[in-house]
């Protein structure tokens, strides 16, 4: 890949240059601020942008939004501290950034820390950009759930954090369903996403854990690089199966497990994201009789996953992001 570096710190730029230079990738250009990055994208669009969040003048968030609107390009947030910049990181991901990784550093012994994680992200993005037919899989378990409750299942990827927040922020505190969110995000940052989402809604937000039994009015966020599924015991759990699926956690794997085992009432929503993850699972749920919703092209940061769902007829309705909460509330009245 031809990779652009957007960072105002010369030492960081030199380090990223050296790391990229030691790989099959190459550096397309370097920008020291967001405004310069926007200009350079117009003249020379790279395969990937490494975007710092905190820079003088225009921030990485604003630059990501402008680039997504004018010259769409995959963006990997590379910042010194995800925890300290969590709000900006998730704003950037809501604007279309694919993923986030902390900036590699050289320790006192001259060893580069974070290089392995950095290249792991690059390999994953390469697969995402080149993936044509993500394969789906069926979760396997043995028992059937004992209690029937309502469920809202949401899948999202690129641009997903802000989209998910907009959907759930207007749902009432007594919302009569459990909500499970499958957002493509690395497990190192899932906790930060859940904490940030908790500030956007009156509903309770928690990291989904093995053995969780779903409760109404609670949002469960998938939080590991393994896939979250709904098992035959009536509880959530993580599985290390389906290693061939590049999307982690996979929306399709979760939706397929619901098709296999869910016995209560349910709505399923597929929001903005690159690729096709979730589309075939959404189709299975629609064939099961579930009311399915996909985000429309105009309001998507990346019209990939919802497009795939629309093309295969997986969505009962296709709606702009601002309408989806209202559709959910109306359909939930029909279920209860």
Average pLDDT, the chain: 87
Q: Are strands 150-156 and 48-51 parallel, antiparallel or unpaired?
A: unpaired
pLDDT of residue 6: 96
| Same-domain check for residues 203 and 92 | no
How far apart CA 32 and CA 43 sit, in angstroms, is 16
CATH of residue 33: 3.40.50.2300
| Same-domain check for residues 190 and 297 | yes
Contact (Cβ atoms closer than 8 angstroms) between residue 105 and residue 77? no
The 10s digit of each residue's pLDDT in 100-133 is 999 999 888 778 888 989 988 888 888 777 632 3
How far apart CA 224 and CA 251 sit, in angstroms, is 13
Is 197 part of any domain?
yes
Measure Cα distances from 127 to 36, 122, 326 in Å: 28, 9, 35
pLDDT of residue 147: 41
Q: Note the helical H segments in the chain.
A: 10-21, 34-43, 60-70, 86-95, 115-130, 160-168, 187-198, 251-261, 279-287, 305-311, 321-335
Q: Which domain holds residue 255?
A: 150-335
Domain boundary among 95, 130, 165: 130
pLDDT exceeds cutoff 80 at 136? no
Is 263 part of any domain?
yes
Is 144 part of any domain?
no
Q: Which range among 123-127, 158-162, 245-249, 305-309 shows the weakest confidence by mean pLDDT?
A: 245-249
pLDDT of residue 157: 92
Crossing angle, helix 187-198 and helix 86-95, to 10 degrees?
90
Mean pLDDT (whole number) for 300-310? 95
> What DSSP letter does each residue of 44-57 carry, written as one string?
---SEEEE-S--SS
How far apart CA 284 and CA 331 sit, in angstroms, is 19
| Same-domain check for residues 175 and 249 | yes
The tokens describing 126, both together, are: 């390469």
Share of the chain above pLDDT 90, in %: 57
- 106-138 burial: b if 16+ Cβ within 10 Å, else e: eeeeeeeebbeebbebbebbbebeebeebebbe
| Same-domain check for residues 126 and 159 | no
pLDDT of residue 203: 94
Is 286 part of any domain?
yes
Measure Cα distances from 262 to 154, 256, 269, 289 in Å: 15, 10, 16, 12
Crossing angle, helix 34-43 and helix 60-70, to 10 degrees?
20
Contact (Cβ atoms closer than 8 angstroms) between residue 215 and residue 235? no
Continuous segment of H or E residues that includes residue 268: strand 265-270
What residues are labeled active site? 157, 184, 277
pLDDT exceeds cutoff 60 at 28? yes
Distance of CA 218 to the CA centre of its chain: 19
Rank 117-126, 151-160, 182-191 by mean pLDDT and report only the highest: 151-160
pLDDT of residue 96: 77
Number of domains in the chain: 2
Is 136 part of any domain?
no
Is 46 part of any domain?
yes
The 10s digit of each residue's pLDDT in 309-330 is 999 999 999 999 999 999 999 8
Closest CA to 182 of 249, 236, 136: 249
| Same-domain check for residues 106 and 159 | no
Confidence of residue 270 (pLDDT cuts 50, 70, 90): very high
| Same-domain check for residues 196 and 241 | yes
- Sole residue written with tokens 């995800």: 82
Is 8 part of any domain?
yes
| Same-domain check for residues 20 and 161 | no
Residues in the chain: 336
| Same-domain check for residues 116 and 163 | no
pLDDT of residue 244: 72
């Amino acid at each position: 890949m031809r990779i652009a570096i957007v960072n105002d710190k010369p030492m960081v730029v030199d380090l990223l240059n050296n790391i990229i230079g030691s790989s099959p990738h190459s550096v397309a250009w370097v920008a020291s601020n967001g405004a310069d990055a926007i200009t350079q994208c117009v003249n020379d669009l790279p395969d990937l942008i490494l975007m710092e969040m905190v820079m003088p003048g225009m921030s990485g968030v604003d630059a990501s939004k402008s680039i997504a609107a004018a010259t769409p390009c995959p963006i990997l947030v590379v910042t010194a501290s995800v925890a300290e910049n969590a709000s900006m990181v998730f704003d950037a991901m809501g604007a279309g950034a694919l993923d986030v990784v902390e900036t590699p550093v050289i320790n006192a012994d001259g060893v580069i820390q974070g290089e392995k994680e950095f290249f792991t992200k690059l390999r994953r993005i390469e697969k995402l950009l080149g993936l044509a037919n993500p394969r789906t899989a069926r979760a396997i378990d043995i028992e059937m759930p004992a209690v029937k409750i309502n469920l809202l299942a949401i899948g999202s990827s690129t641009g997903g954090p802000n989209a998910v927040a907009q959907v759930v922020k207007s749902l009432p505190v007594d919302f009569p369903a459990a909500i499970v969110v499958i957002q493509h995000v690395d497990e190192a940052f899932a906790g930060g996403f859940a904490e940030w989402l908790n500030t956007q809604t009156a509903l309770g937000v928690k990291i989904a854990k093995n053995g969780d039994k779903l409760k109404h009015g609670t949002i469960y966020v998938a939080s590991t690089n393994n896939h979250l599924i709904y098992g035959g015991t009536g509880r959530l759990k993580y599985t290390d199966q389906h290693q061939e699926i590049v999307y982690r956690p996979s929306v399709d794997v979760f939706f397929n497990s619901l098709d296999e085992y869910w016995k209560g009432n349910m709505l399923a929503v597929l929001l903005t994201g690159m690729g096709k993850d979730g589309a075939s699972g959404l189709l299975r749920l629609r064939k099961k009789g579930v009311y399915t919703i996909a985000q429309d092209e105009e309001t998507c940061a990346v019209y990939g996953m919802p497009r795939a769902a629309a093309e295969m007829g997986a969505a009962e309705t296709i709606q702009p992001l601002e309408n989806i909460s209202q559709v959910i509330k109306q359909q939930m009245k029909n279920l209860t």
